[in-house]
Each structure stands twice: as structure tokens, then as C-alpha cells.
Amino acid sequence: MQIKFISPASGNSPGLLRKTAAVITMVVLAGVALMFSAILLAVILIVVVFGGAYLWWKTRALRKLMKEQMRDFPPHGAVMRGDVFASEVFKGEVIEGEVIRVAESTDQGASIDLDRTKR
């Protein structure tokens, strides 16, 4: 098998006019691509703004309801008791989620019950 290398002839090399036209064409194509990307970015930005405004408008009743519920919520520092733990009264100290309950009896002998449970 034989490989033949064809050397470019001196008459086929691109001239100055052809090189200039290629550079101008590349600059124009790059400008057109930049223009289309800017237009695409503007369209995406407009869609996002109008979509956010639409969601803001559609959720105004929900936001109003949430504000009313927060206004009717017990004031800061109020004690809230749930039905689940209504019969239990927790006394003791909570350190990093660990409950230490100390139960002292009223008998003559003071018995201390330490109940350590993770919560």
C-alpha cells in the first residue's frame, strides 16, 4: 500500500481577499450568535418575572390567611398544652434533648428517681 501526499500548489493558496472575507464572516456570525443569546436571555428573564408575579398574585389569599392565623396565634411566651400530653406535667431540666426528671417524694426518706430518656 502506498500513501501519496499531495502538496498544495502555489496557485491554490487563499489570497488576501479570501482571508479577509473569512474573518469578516466569522465576526458577523459571532455577532449574530451573541445577539440571539442576548435575546434568549431576555426572553427567559421576562418569563421568570411574569411567572413569579403570577404566582405571587395567585397566592395572595393564602398569604392573607397565614397572616390572620399568625395574628390569632398565642403571644410569645404563652404556654401551649396539647391534648397528647395533657395529663402529664414535665418537671425537670432538658439538656440537649435529654430529659432529666427528678421525682422527690414527700416521705421522711427522700428518694430520688432519675429517669434519663432520649427525646
Which pLDDT tens digit goes with each residue over 62-116?
999 999 888 877 666 565 555 556 666 666 666 666 666 676 666 554 445 455 5
Cell matching residue 99: 430529659
- What pTM, to 2 d.p., does this model score? 0.44
Distance CA 7, CA 26 (A): 27
Residue 70 counted as domain residue? yes
Residue 9 counted as domain residue? no
Q: What's the total number of domains in the chain?
A: 1
Residue 10 counted as domain residue? no
Q: Which domain holds residue 85?
A: 16-118
Q: Is 50 left (phi over 0), alpha (psi -120 to 50) or beta?
A: alpha
Residue 5 counted as domain residue? no
State how far Cα 93 lies from the chain centre: 37
Contact criterion met (CB below 8 Å) for 92 and 100 = yes
Distance CA 111, CA 102 (A): 10
Measured at the CA of 67, the angle between CA 60 and CA 49, to 5 degrees, comes to 30
Output the pLDDT for position 58.
95
Residue identified by cell 443569546 is 37
Residue 112 counted as domain residue? yes
Output the pLDDT for position 19.
93
